[in-house]
Structure 1
Amino acid sequence: MRLFLPCAASIAVLAASAASAQSPPDARRAELLRQRDAIDAELRRIDATAPSPTAAPASNAPAEPRDIIVTGNALTLTTKVAGQTDTTIANADFRNTPATTIADIVKLSPGVTITGGNGPRDVGVSIRGSNARNSFGARNIQVFEDDFPVTQPDGLARFDLTDPHAYGAVDVVRGPSSARYGNYAVEGAINFRTRSGRDLQGVEAGIDGGSFGYLNAYATLGHAGHGFDYSVFGSFARADGATGHTGYQTGTINALATLALSDRDRITGKVIYNEGDFRLSTRLSYNQYLANPYQQDCDRAATAAPGCGTISVLANGVNGARLTQTAAEGDLARNDRRTIVGARYEHDFAAGTTWRTQATFDSRVVFQPTSATPFRGTLNSYNISSDVTAKTRLAGLDSVSFIGVFYNYLDAQNYSFNKTPAGRNGIGTPTQTVFGGVRNMGVRAREELSLTPDLQLILGIGYEHSQIDMRQTAYAYPVGASPVLTYIPALRDFDNVAPEASLVWQADPALKLHARIGTAYGIPQSGQLFVTTAGVAGNNADLKTQTNLGVDLGAEVKLADTLTAELTGYYEWFRNEQVTQSAGVNLLSFTTNVPRSIHRGVELAVRWTPLPGALPGGYVQANYSYNDQRYTRYTERLTSGAMSAAFDRADNRIPGVIPTFVNARLGYDTPHGALAGLGGFAEVTYRSRYFIDNANLLSIPAYTLLNLNVHYDPPAGDGWWSRMSFYASVQNLTDKTYVGSASIISDSLNAAGQQNPAPVLMTTTGSLYAGQPRTVYVGVKGRF
């Protein structure tokens, strides 16, 4: 706090200096803004000391996030995007929950499914099945924080660098969105919004604890005044996983500040720093999972219990004899460091015209001895954009016009090695190096035109040129011979155009309808170009760009304050969809193109107060997602030794995509009286059965989880007690054992050239992690 208070004082001095140089009209505007701040403060004081007896009393919990008072007219990237299917998850929905990972937040949006990632804190987030076939991080969606990009130019974002306690809201934008977000926005975008200083006006600090050694200590400092707003968040979290040899400790710093340089100029700064150390287990075969889902008694391979996962490492780290090790013996792990620094400058040319320029530096430094081939890399990226938004009248109609240019570049230096038996730092000879870069550049334009007061037309288009310039050197070490080096260059250029169009009709004050046609594209990720279909380093540089065209039809309903609902149906046509599969626990995942596929589904969200008179604090909150995704043209060739056969996958379900996902809460928050602020809910999460191979022979069973939550948020008033809040939560109350994550596996051939059946696929390693068993969390926080 000592560090940040002088910073706040400096910001206030700068703002005052800027105000003193304003012209008379500007000075008058500044004075009115100061008066409005004073009025707002007095109203808050009155509301806190004399709440209405018929209304829900004010809470010490923060209000939903509001824009800083010195905003311009720049078109928001991700919040309430006109014509797009989107959902905003407010802080009130997750502030009194454990929120150990962002999965606890985004599961509240329709169209989103979640799975476990590569480790106890990593999660896979999929919009309309976009990321369902990836075993870690996020692919095929663009991820932002406070509208600053956290997806690197090669299309990868990770969710384990973020602590949900920092956020005030999350925006989920769904559907093909490259006209707005460019490369890799195949199924939309997610924007995390940190808490604003205006909502904090002080310090909030808390501590959460729970089963399996979970502990998270966090604090947020924030303040706002005329012409400035800042918030700084910090946390340290650690846990021992329920699965053997899993756990983590990670620290995060997350800061956002906006300063008005003048009445027309603003600058916003963003900093994210995260470093984490993660212990990892191996992914299991289905049979191993059935025998030992949480990999207990797996310390040593020689004495391991049935079902323990193992890796095979070279005894000398070069070639020859191999040894079998468990995850604990090999000390499989990840140590990742992420630093993001961004700045945004806005200038108002006129009352309705704003120029915005933004630059972001994003550094990812990783050391990942996660398997028999450890990986080390430095991936630094640079992202620059500049755009103009003009709110004017066009042909006599209200108009919002947008045009912008952008450039981003990733500089990658990656190394892979043979692992030796000497634990985490047992690094042997190199197996491959990949050096080079990925760049994207282009232009976007958008027009939002109000045809009538109730009917809006939105048109958009984006053009992007992308280039992958990577060079791989693969190393082989024949016994008794000199090393063999194979050099594989990949220089690929891609040009993509993405148009979109939508209509939004406010048919009634309680009913809004929209229809949209959107397009998207995603070039291959650079790492996919150098892994063959055998799961080894080699040439796969002919991968193509995947594209999709989609149609959305949606409706939003709001009946007084008792019912809000959104319903969307979508149908999308894909070409050259990129499908990633695991070749086995000691091999690398590889990617192929599918010529044609279709994605279609339904998304529904409901918030209902069924008895507003008799039970005003009772509510039902639910979302439902249905995804029917299938290959329509795909012939897959399987090879085993001298045997080779082709199989038609048309009409097969795309593996990894969960057809049905439901999340529902039944809750009650006491609105007034002696127990005002006391509440709780029962939450049910259902995930249906899904396939994990292209032949649709092996499926993961459905599951239903039950969570319980109770919390106390005392109403605002005098005394320290009203500044505190408490919660307790039980996750997976029935202690159900279920598959939390499953990588896609490859089908295989038997000696007769026929596909192996499900019992054989059940022995394929490198796929499954168990989900979290029954876990208890408690937490307390206070505001000062």
Structure 2
Amino acid sequence: MDIPPFDLPAALSMVQIEPAASGQPGVNLSESLVGVPGILARDRQNYAQDAQISIRGFGSRATFGVRSIRLYVDGIPATLPDGQGQVSHFNFDSAERVEILRGPFSVLYGNAAGGVVQLWSAEGTPVPVTTLGVNAGSNDTFRYSVDTRGTVGRVDYNVAGSLFLSGGYRRHSRVRRESDNARFGVDLGDGKKLTIVANRLNQPVSQDPLGLTRAQVDADPRQVAAVANQYNTRKSILQNQLGAVYEQQLDSDDQLRVMGYGGQRRIRQYQSIPVSAQRNPLSAGGVVALDTDYGGLDARWTRSGQLAGRDYEFVLGASADGQWQHRRGYENFVGGTLGVTGALRRNEDDNVHSVDEYAQWYWHFAKSWSLLLGVRHDDVRFRARDHYVTATNPNDSGSKNYTATTPVLGLGFRPSDNLRLYASYGKGFETPSFNELGYRSDGRPGMAFDLRPARSRNLELGAKWQVTRGLAFDTALFRADTRDELAVGTNRNGRSTYRNVGDTRRQGVELSLDGQLADHWRISAGFTHLQARFRSAFLACRATPCSAATVPVARGTRMPGVPENYGSLRIRHGGELGWQEGLDVTGVGAVTVNDTATQQAAGYALVGVDVGYTFALAASTRLQLSARVDNLGDRRYIGSVIVNDSNGRYFEPGPGRTWMLGARLVF
């Protein structure tokens, strides 16, 4: 809906993307989120597993990829219909801004919407502009990028490509990533516009160093578990995607928007599953091969008008998304050779179809009051067709259907021109993804279709204050109560299975300050206090291997992977030319790493500094040189955790003091 962010009765942060402003290379989403409350993006230093992103505690249990959060690029889903998403194909060279929506109104985006992250590409410029960039830094890290923007006739374009290479902070963590993104806007006249977005990700090499035990971290945080080298754990990714958005102004009051997209994602992952475990005829092997085709359509009609003399806006839409995944499993050995593709052990088609309808209504029903209502109905269908059937491995085909209707309501009050108060409430739901459904807790092959979706009730109270014309302060109190929370059921032979464990609660407060402090001085600061607790007692695993949960987890135990306090601050000084300086401070509290809360990762605070100088070489040519140092104090810390890791390797250490040099030529 076309509602100004200041008037929206929800916590929404908008961050302008400036890759060169902080001296960082523009590889990770976490680089752009300094000063944004609620969201925590933890860099694993492991590009085989993607970033670990959570919003108000939702998504913290994801061991790889992004769960419980909806992701979009230029309005096109980056989350599959089963709820599993990834940010590896986010291209920050062509990006203009990133938006983070938190709280009840996230549920209007459907399944697994504990929060929403959207990346938007910039439109082409009236005058062509090309940017060439190069970065080099610690751990044999290099990045090369190019972006060109402009307009030709009625078509504006923005095309970017990059190559990222790194030896990694830890041993056995080398990566090569190629990322390309192209956006074309076509003015068709008569209020019609077509936007075409194409992107490509090729990551042929991403070694997986795995996690470490506490003893291993204390001995040498840069080491890897012996099995990582033994089985040469690694992943390769290839993704191609094409999408289009058609917009038409039907008349002065009505607008039509139709979006369609399709793509392919190919993954090969070599795991460290022991050979002895694969002797079991029901084992799926130690090599995962996923070939996924996906696509969808979304159509919405928007009408603006007046009711009782007051402005309103109404949106009615429907979408359909599909995921067609061919999953195969192979042994990770041939004879005595480990870390190679061996005999076939799993072969199935895992398909998901989602059909959704939604409506929203925004109405200024009084001079100082506004109302935002919404409702969404989701129908998500899972189907597995087993093609690996033997005398000792029966046919495990099956299907499951999940449905939910999720309403949301927001009330806004305007006591003055520079202050907004609001309250909002909504219900959400999250189906298990194929990663949770993939293995049954009884050790038998086939899908865990006995899992139920998690359902949540979300409440938020907030205030937005425009302190000065260029400085804004926001605060929000929130609570999310979830029933049928998903958690680990068993751990054995390197595999985790899942089950529903009852009720949980996530509640807390967010504070943020963003904008201009003075001429050439800017601040972005965000702080989150979050209490995440299990509200139902259940049984968990004591150690691995674990074929049955036997350890009581008491009501009130902290949920793993969720810090109680975290925040970040960036202060920047400088203009477009001459010197620019920046200071970053990031703090994250301690987190428990398993359901029983018997181990934890300590909290930490990190300081980063950067300096740059921009030269005007000609009327339209600029050269910017930059230098940056991260973890200035060279602290030892745990950058992220692998919640309930089946081998007790919970910890992923962050790097010590690192440096990065950069140069950007704009002409």
Report the alpha carbon displacement of residue 665 of structure 1 after superposing the two structures with TM: 2.2
Aligned position for 1:22: none
SS class of match (2:120) = strand
The reply on whether 1:91 has 2:4 as its aligned counterpart is no
Change (3 A) 1:626 1:424: farther
Aligned position for 1:725: 624
Report the alpha carbon displacement of residue 539 of structure 1 after superposing the two structures with TM: 4.9
Whichever of the two has the greater Rg, that structure is: 1
Matched residue type, 2:562: V
Aligned position for 1:169: 97
Say if 1:142 and 1:190, in contact at 8 Å, map to a contact too: yes
Change (3 A) 1:76 1:251: farther
Aligned position for 1:310: 226
Report the alpha carbon displacement of residue 505 of structure 1 after superposing the two structures with TM: 2.1
Report the alpha carbon displacement of residue 579 of structure 1 after superposing the two structures with TM: 2.2
SS class of match (1:288) = helix
Unpaired segments of 5 or more residues in structure 1?
Answer: 1-74, 296-307, 312-326, 476-481, 748-763
Aligned position for 1:665: 570
The reply on whether 1:555 has 2:483 as its aligned counterpart is no
Report the alpha carbon displacement of residue 626 of structure 1 after superposing the two structures with TM: 1.4
Give distance in 1, aligned partners of 2:489 and 2:637. 21
The reply on whether 1:361 has 2:262 as its aligned counterpart is yes
Aligned position for 1:20: none
Unpaired segments of 5 or more residues in structure 2?
Answer: 274-285
- TM-score under structure 2 normalisation? 0.91
Matched residue type, 2:213: S
Report the alpha carbon displacement of residue 343 of structure 1 after superposing the two structures with TM: 0.9
Say if 2:477 and 2:510, in contact at 8 Å, map to a contact too: yes
User: 1:221-253 deviations in whole A, cap 9, x for unaligned?
Assistant: 111366432111111111110111111111111
SS class of match (2:169) = coil
2:207 to 274, 279, 282: 279
Give distance in 1, aligned partners of 2:93 and 2:489. 34
2:532 to 620, 624, 629: 629
Give distance in 1, aligned partners of 2:187 and 2:470. 39
2:640 to 741, 745, 754: 741
Change (3 A) 1:569 1:420: same
Matched residue type, 1:529: L
User: 1:302-340 deviations in whole A, cap 9, x for unaligned?
Assistant: xxxxxx5133xxxxxxxxxxxxxxx23432211101111
The reply on whether 1:594 has 2:501 as its aligned counterpart is yes
1:376 to 282, 289, 296: 289
Say if 2:540 and 2:595, in contact at 8 Å, map to a contact too: no
Change (3 A) 1:520 1:211: same
Give distance in 2, aligned partners of 1:581 and 1:119. 26
Say if 1:536 and 1:587, in contact at 8 Å, map to a contact too: no
Aligned position for 1:465: 379
Matched residue type, 1:278: S
Q: What does 1:85-124 align with in structure 2 at a 5 Å threshold?
A: 85-92=11-18, 95-98=21-24, 99-117=26-44, 119-120=46-47, 122-124=50-52
SS class of match (1:589) = strand
Aligned position for 1:484: 392
Aligned position for 1:223: 150
Change (3 A) 1:250 1:582: farther
Give distance in 2, aligned partners of 1:350 and 1:243. 59
2:609 to 671, 688, 708: 708
The reply on whether 1:765 has 2:664 as its aligned counterpart is no
1:337 to 226, 235, 238: 238
Aligned position for 1:649: 554
Give distance in 2, aligned partners of 1:469 and 1:766. 33
Change (3 A) 1:310 1:484: farther
User: 1:696-753 deviations in whole A, cap 9, x for unaligned?
Assistant: 2211111111111112235x69446x51222111011122221122112279xxxxxx
User: 1:271-297 deviations in whole A, cap 9, x for unaligned?
Assistant: 0101102112122222222222111xx
Give distance in 1, aligned partners of 2:547 and 2:242. 53
Q: What does 1:135-534 align with in structure 2 at a 5 Å threshold?
A: 135-177=63-105, 179-185=107-113, 187-198=114-125, 201-224=128-151, 227-276=154-203, 277-295=205-223, 308-311=224-227, 327-372=228-273, 373-420=286-333, 426-472=340-386, 484-533=392-441
Give distance in 2, aligned partners of 1:245 and 1:534. 34
SS class of match (1:198) = coil
Matched residue type, 2:381: Q
Change (3 A) 1:242 1:78: farther
1:603 to 503, 510, 514: 510
Change (3 A) 1:269 1:337: same
SS class of match (2:217) = helix
SS class of match (2:125) = helix
Give distance in 2, aligned partners of 1:362 and 1:544. 29
Say if 2:624 and 2:663, in contact at 8 Å, map to a contact too: yes
User: 1:629-679 deviations in whole A, cap 9, x for unaligned?
Assistant: 1111132155888997462431101111121111112332268xxxx5312
Matched residue type, 2:311: D
Give distance in 2, aligned partners of 1:141 and 1:162. 15
Say if 2:95 and 2:120, in contact at 8 Å, map to a contact too: yes
SS class of match (2:229) = helix
Say if 1:118 and 1:136, in contact at 8 Å, map to a contact too: no
User: 1:63-106 deviations in whole A, cap 9, x for unaligned?
Assistant: xxxxxxxxxxxx36997783221100112486443133111113
Give distance in 1, aligned partners of 2:447 and 2:525. 46
Give distance in 1, aligned partners of 2:127 and 2:423. 38
SS class of match (1:685) = strand
User: 1:554-580 deviations in whole A, cap 9, x for unaligned?
Assistant: 111112246321111101110111224
Give distance in 1, aligned partners of 2:583 and 2:326. 48
1:545 to 453, 473, 482: 453
Change (3 A) 1:583 1:643: closer
2:578 to 669, 677, 680: 677
Aligned position for 2:280: none
Report the alpha carbon displacement of residue 199 of structure 1 after superposing the two structures with TM: 7.4
Say if 2:104 and 2:460, in contact at 8 Å, map to a contact too: no
Matched residue type, 1:564: A
Give distance in 2, aligned partners of 1:519 and 1:226. 46
Matched residue type, 1:410: Q
RMSD: 2.6
Give distance in 2, aligned partners of 1:267 and 1:630. 46
Say if 1:448 and 1:458, in contact at 8 Å, map to a contact too: yes
Aligned position for 1:11: none
Q: Which has the higher helix share?
A: 1
Deviates more, 1:535-544 or 1:340-349: 535-544
SS class of match (2:313) = strand
Change (3 A) 1:140 1:400: same
Say if 1:78 and 1:147, in contact at 8 Å, map to a contact too: no
Say if 1:282 and 1:310, in contact at 8 Å, map to a contact too: no
SS class of match (1:290) = helix
Deviates more, 1:99-108 or 1:493-502: 99-108
Matched residue type, 1:729: R
Deviates more, 1:634-643 or 1:458-467: 634-643
Give distance in 2, aligned partners of 1:200 and 1:725. 20
Change (3 A) 1:493 1:707: same
Give distance in 1, aligned partners of 2:388 and 2:601. 36
Report the alpha carbon displacement of residue 359 of structure 1 after superposing the two structures with TM: 0.6
Change (3 A) 1:694 1:467: same
Change (3 A) 1:644 1:529: closer
Alignment: residue pair count = 649
User: 1:159-204 deviations in whole A, cap 9, x for unaligned?
Assistant: 222232332110000124465211111x121010112212773211
Matched residue type, 1:206: G
